[in-house]
Every structure is written in C-alpha cells, then in structure tokens.
Amino acid sequence: MLKAQLHKIELAQRKGELVDRAQAVSHVFKLARTERDAWLNWPARISAQMAARLNVDAHALHVALDAAVREHLQELGELRPSVD
C-alpha cells in the first residue's frame, strides 16, 4: 500500500500537479503585500478626485479614507488562514 501511495505521489510530481509548499507560501505572502501596499496608496490617489466630486475638503477626506483603510487592513491582518 505504501509503495502504491509513493508511486502516486511520484507520478503527480512528474506531471507537475504538486507545488512546493515554501514557494507557494512565499508567493501568497508577496501577493498579499502587494495588495496591502496598493490599498495603503489608494487614499492618496483618489481623495482629491472624490473631494472635488463631493465638494468637501480634500485633506479631511484623505485623512478619513486613510484611517478607514488602515483600520480595515488591520482587521484583515488578524485573520490567520491555514495552509495545511
């Protein structure tokens, strides 16, 4: 039975159906960091346009959006997904 399982794993490896766990974790970490950085930069990019549309103070809107985005990212950072 063990030989059959090993053979199955070796076959899956040869077919490229298995991924290296360390590489997968590293890739997901890089993607998450890129996503976080994009969100952190978003208030600075969009607040002036939104303020003009809404006829409100651009700085006040930027501060409010930045605080909301950071709070939301903090909440998301508390999630601990399992990669088992």
Residue pLDDT, tens place only, 27-80: 989 999 999 999 999 999 999 999 999 999 999 999 999 999 999 999 998 888
Interhelix angle 58-77/21-54, rounded to 10 degrees, is 160
Longest dimension (CA), the chain: 72
Token output for 43: 């208030």
Q: What are the domain boundaries of the chain?
A: 20-84
* pLDDT at 2 (0 to 100): 87
3-state secondary structure 12-56: HHHCCCCCCHHHHHHHHHHHHHHHHHHHHHHHHHHHHHHHHHHCC
SS3 65: helix
Q: Is the pTM of this model over 0.85?
A: no
